[in-house]
C-alpha cells in the first residue's frame, strides 16, 4: 500500500477538534482561513506522496556515507530536499520579512508530520533548520538574522544543533566544549560533539551549526553555557560561502534506523563562531530550538505511526489466513483490535500535538500568559506520547504482518527501526516526564488545572448526547485531578519523578479520550464516533493503572536496591 499523507484528517482536526478557528481569528494569523489551510495541506500531501515517500526505502538501503571527508547522501535525497525547499516548506512559519511565510505553527506541525510519515530520515534535515531559525529569530543579533535566515529558509543553507558530547547527554551541563573570544567580536570554538543529525550534506552550499560551548570563566553546569553559530564556510563580504571553517565530520554513527540521516561525530578546532543570545545564556537560546524540535519529534512519532498503520492496514486487507467473512485477516478479532488501537492512538497523539501547536500560535498572536503556559505544559506530553505512540504503533504494525513483519522488503520493520529513536533524542521521554511533574507543575498546577477544567466542562456538555462516554471521561479526569494534587503535595522530588512517566501517559490517555469525544460529537453516527466508542471503554481505562503507579512514591522503587537488581 502506498503512503497517503493524512491531509483530510488534519482538516477535520483543525475544524472540529482543536479549535483552529481561534488562531485564524487573530490579526497575526488572519490569512490562515479554512480555504488556505486546505490548499496548503493538500499541496504538502502531494509532495509527501509523490516525492518523499518514494525516498523512504532507498534511504534505508543506501545510507548516507562519508567518503574521504565528503558526505554522500542517499539516492534522491538531494532532489527531495530541493523539492521541500522550493515549496517553501522549510520557512513555513518563518518571518516573512526574511523570506518565510509567517504561517501558524499548527500548519507547520501538520506538514512536518506528513513529511515524517513519508520519509523521516530526510524530514529531519528541514526540522533541524526550522529549530535553528526559531532560536536565531528570538536570540540572534539583527546582523546574524539578516545574513543567515533568508538562506536557511530558502534551503540554500541548512542548520544543525550541537549539544551532545560523550560525557554530556541528558546532563547537558557537563559539556566541556570551549569558546574563546578572538578579539574581533567572533569566538574560537573547540570541542567534540557526537550524535549530530545531518552534521553535513551534499545538497546545501553551507551548513550552519548551533554549538553549545563554555566561555572562559563560565561557571560549571548549565548556567555557564553559551550558544554559538558556527558555519561550515565563513560567509564572505557578499554573504556567500567563503573560506572553510576549522570544523569537520569525523565519522558517522552506525545506527538501528534512520539510515538516510547521517548522525555525525563533529570536531571543532578553533572554529570561528558568533555568539547567539547573551554570554552564559546559551541554554535559554537552545531551549527555544529544543521546544520547537520537541513538537517536531512528537510529530515524527505520529508520522511514522501513520505510515506503519497504512502499511499494516493494506496487508491485513489482502492477507488470507483462516476462515473469516472477507477471507482476509482483517476480520479476525485480534487483528481488528490491533488496527483499531493503532488508529485510535494516532488520532489521540495527533490531536495532542495539534492542541499544543495551536496554543503556541495563540501565545504568539495574543501574548497571553495562559496560552504560553498551556503550550509549555503540552510540549512534553506531545513529544513523549507522540514518540511512544509511533513506537507502539510501528511495533504493532510488525505484528499485524506476522512473519512478513520482520522481512525487510515489506517496510514494516523499517518504520519500527526508524521511529525507535524518537523517545530518546530531544530529551529522552523520561526527561520529558520529569519536566512535566517538575517545572511544569511549578505554577501551582494552574496549566494542568485549566486543561482538566476544560475536559470536565466538555464531558458535562456531552452528557446529553453521549452519556456513557461522557461519564467515563469525566471520571478519568477526576482521577487525574487527584493524582495531580498528590504529586504537587510531594516535597521529595523523587516521589514525583518515580511516577513521572506513568503520570504523563495517563494525562495523554485522558486528553486522548477528550479529543475522541469531541470528534464523536462533531461527526455523530460515523466512523469517528465508532472509533471513540472503541477508545473510551478499551484504551482510556489504562489511565487507572498508570495513576496508581504514578502515586506509588519512590520508597518501594529504591527499596529494590542496585544489588537486588544484579542478584541472580
Ligand atoms: C539518532 C540520534 C540523533 C541525535 N541527534 C542529535 C543532534 O542533532 N544534536 C544533539 O546535540 N544531540 C543529538 N542526539 C543525542 C540525543 O539528544 C541524546 O542521545 C539524548 O539526549 C540522551 O543522551 P544520552 O544518549 O547520553 O543518554 P543518557 O543521558 O546517558 O541517558 C541514559 C538513560 O538514563 C536516563 N537518564 C539520564 N539522566 C537522567 C536523569 N537526570 N533522570 C532520570 N533519568 C535519566 C535517560 O532517560 C536514559 O534512559 C541524537 C541521538 C541519536 C541517537
The predicted structure's pLDDT at residue 291? 80
Q: What is the 3-state secondary structure (H, E, C) of 17-82?
A: HCCCHHHHCCCCCCCCCHHHHHHHHHHHHHHHHHHHHHHHHHHHHCCCEEECCEEECCCCHHHHHH
Selection from 226, 99, 77, 194 nearest residue 152 by Cα: 99
Mutate to test the pocket of ligand 1, among 265, 285, 424, 554 (most ligand atoms within 8 A of CB): 424
- pLDDT per residue, tens digit, the chain (568 aa), is 699 999 999 999 999 999 999 999 999 999 999 999 999 999 999 999 999 999 999 999 999 999 999 999 999 999 999 999 999 999 999 999 999 999 999 999 999 999 999 999 999 999 999 999 999 999 999 999 999 999 999 999 999 999 999 999 999 999 999 999 999 999 999 999 999 999 999 999 999 999 999 999 999 999 999 999 999 999 999 999 999 999 999 999 999 999 999 999 999 999 999 999 999 999 888 887 788 889 999 999 999 999 999 999 999 999 999 999 999 999 999 999 999 999 999 999 999 999 999 999 999 999 999 999 999 999 999 999 999 999 999 999 999 999 999 999 999 999 999 999 999 999 999 999 999 999 999 999 999 999 999 999 999 999 999 999 999 999 999 999 999 999 999 999 999 999 999 999 999 999 999 999 999 999 999 999 999 999 999 999 999 999 999 999 999 999 999 999 999 8
What is the largest distance, in Å, between two alpha-carbon atoms of the chain? 79
- In 3-state terms, what secondary structure has residue 16? helix
> Which residue has a Cα nearest atom 24 of ligand 1?
169
- In 3-state terms, what secondary structure has residue 312? helix
Using left for φ > 0, alpha for ψ between -120 and 50, and beta otherwise, residue 444 falls in left
State CA 275 to chain mean position distance.
27
Instruction: Kindly give the pairing relationship between strand 157-162 and strand 206-213.
Output: parallel
Instruction: Kindly give the pairing relationship between strand 233-235 and strand 241-244.
Output: antiparallel
The predicted structure's pLDDT at residue 292? 81
Q: Which residue numbers are catalytic?
A: 426
The predicted structure's pLDDT at residue 510? 98
Return the bridge partners of 275, or none: 228
d(CA 388, CA 422): 8
Residues enclosing ligand 1, CB less than 6 A? 161-164, 169-170, 195-197, 255, 258, 263, 421, 424-425, 428, 430-431, 434
Give the position, in ligand 1's atom list, of the atom nearest the Cα of 160: 8
Give the position, in ligand 1's atom list, of the atom nearest the Cα of 427: 21
The predicted structure's pLDDT at residue 194? 98
d(CA 57, CA 260): 9
The predicted structure's pLDDT at residue 286? 82
C-alpha angle 478-482-485 in degrees, rounded to nearest 5: 135
Distance 293 CA to ligand 1 centre (A): 14
Mutate to test the pocket of ligand 1, among 124, 161, 428, 435 (most ligand atoms within 8 A of CB): 428
C-alpha angle 557-427-393 in degrees, rounded to nearest 5: 85
State CA 481 to chain mean position distance.
26
d(CA 58, CA 519): 37
The predicted structure's pLDDT at residue 568? 86
> Which residue has a Cα nearest atom 7 of ligand 1?
196
The grid coordinates listed for 210 are 548551533
Buried b (16+ CB within 10 A) or exposed e, 121-140: bbbbbbbbbbbbbbbbbebb
Selection from 122, 154, 148 nearest residue 135 by Cα: 148
Distance 65 CA to ligand 1 centre (A): 24
d(CA 287, CA 271): 23
d(CA 131, CA 299): 14
The predicted structure's pLDDT at residue 289? 78
**Contacts with 289 (C-beta within 8 Å, 6 or more apart), sequence order:** 131, 132, 134, 135, 161, 210
The predicted structure's pLDDT at residue 85? 98
> Which residue has a Cα nearest atom 14 of ligand 1?
195
Amino acid at each position: 500500500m502506498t503512503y497517503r499523507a493524512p491531509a483530510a484528517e488534519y482538516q477535520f482536526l483543525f475544524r472540529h477538534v482543536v479549535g483552529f478557528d481561534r488562531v485564524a481569528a487573530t490579526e497575526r494569523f488572519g490569512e490562515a482561513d479554512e480555504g488556505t489551510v486546505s490548499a496548503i495541506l493538500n499541496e504538502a500531501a502531494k509532495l509527501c506522496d509523490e516525492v518523499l515517500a518514494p525516498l523512504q526505502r532507498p534511504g534505508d538501503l543506501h545510507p548516507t556515507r562519508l567518503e574521504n571527508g565528503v558526505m554522500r547522501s542517499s539516492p534522491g535525497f538531494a532532489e527531495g530536499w530541493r523539492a521541500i525547499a522550493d515549496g517553501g516548506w522549510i520557512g513555513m512559519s518563518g518571518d516573512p520579512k526574511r523570506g518565510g511565510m509567517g504561517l501558524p505553527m499548527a500548519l507547520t506541525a501538520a506538514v512536518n508530520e506528513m513529511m515524517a510519515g513519508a520519509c523521516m530520515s530526510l524530514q529531519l534535515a528541514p526540522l533541524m533548520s526550522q529549530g535553528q531559525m526559531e532560536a536565531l529569530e528570538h536570540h540572534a543579533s539583527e546582523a546574524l538574522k539578516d545574513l543567515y535566515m533568508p538562506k536557511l529558509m530558502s534551503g540554500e543553507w541548512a542548520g544543525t544543533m550541537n549539544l551532545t558530547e560523550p560525557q554530556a547527554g541528558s546532563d547537558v551541563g557537563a559539556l566541556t566544549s570551549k569558546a574563546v573570544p578572538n578579539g574581533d567580536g567572533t569566538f574560537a570554538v573547540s570541542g567534540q560533539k557526537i550524535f549530530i543529525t545531518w552534521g553535513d550534506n551534499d545538497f546545501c552550499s553551507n551548513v550552519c551549526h548551533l554549538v553549545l560551548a563554555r566561555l572562559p570563566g563560565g561557571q560549571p553546569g548549565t548556567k555557564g553555557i553559551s550558544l554559538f553559530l558556527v558555519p561550515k564556510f565563513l560567509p564572505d563580504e557578499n554573504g556567500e560561502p567563503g573560506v572553510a571553517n576549522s570544523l569537520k565530520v569525523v565519522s558517522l554513527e552506525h545506527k538501528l534506523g534512520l539510515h538516510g540521516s547521517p548522525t555525525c561525530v563533529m570536531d571543532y578546532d578553533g572554529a570561528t563562531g558568533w555568539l547567539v543570545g547573551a554570554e552564559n545564556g546559551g541554554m535559554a537560546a537552545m531551549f527555544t530550538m529544543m521546544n520547537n524540535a520537541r513538537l517536531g519529534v512528537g510529530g515524527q512519532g505520529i508520522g511514522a505511526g501513520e505510515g506503519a498503520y497504512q502499511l499494516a492496514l493494506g496487508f491485513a486487507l489482502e492477507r488470507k489466513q483462516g476462515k473469516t467473512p472477507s477471507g482476509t485477516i482483517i476480520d479476525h478479532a485480534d487483528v481488528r483490535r490491533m488496527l483499531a488501537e493503532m488508529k485510535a492512538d494516532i488520532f489521540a497523539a495527533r490531536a495532542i500535538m495539534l492542541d499544543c501547536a495551536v496554543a503556541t500560535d495563540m501565545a504568539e498572536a495574543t501574548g497571553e500568559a495562559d496560552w504560553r503556559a498551556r503550550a509549555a505544559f503540552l510540549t512534553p506530553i506531545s513529544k513523549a506520547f507522540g514518540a511512544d505512540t509511533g513506537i507502539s504503533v510501528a511495533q504493532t504494525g510488525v505484528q499485524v504482518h506476522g512473519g512478513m513483519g520482520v522481512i525487510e522488503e515489506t517496510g514494516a520493520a523499517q518504520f519500527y527501526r526508524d521511529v525507535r529513536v524518537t523517545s530518546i533524542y530531544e530529551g529522552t521521554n523520561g526527561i520529558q516526564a520529569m519536566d512535566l511533574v517538575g517545572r511544569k507543575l511549578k505554577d501551582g498546577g494552574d496549566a494542568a488545572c485549566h486543561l482538566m477544567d476544560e475536559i470536565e466542562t466538555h464531558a458535562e456538555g456531552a452528557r446529553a448526547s453521549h452519556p456513557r462516554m461522557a461519564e467515563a471521561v469525566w471520571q478519568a479526569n477526576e482521577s487525574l485531578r487527584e493524582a495531580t494534587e498528590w504529586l504537587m503535595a510531594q516535597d521529595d522530588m523523587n516521589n514525583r519523578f518515580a511516577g513521572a512517566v506513568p503520570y504523563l501517559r495517563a494525562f495523554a490517555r485522558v486528553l486522548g479520550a477528550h479529543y475522541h469525544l469531541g470528534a464523536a460529537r462533531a461527526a455523530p453516527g460515523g466512523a469517528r464516533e465508532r472509533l471513540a466508542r472503541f477508545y473510551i471503554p478499551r484504551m482510556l481505562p489504562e489511565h487507572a493503572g498508570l495513576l496508581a503507579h504514578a502515586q506509588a512514591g519512590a520508597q518501594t522503587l529504591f527499596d529494590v536496591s542496585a544489588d537486588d537488581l544484579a542478584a541472580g
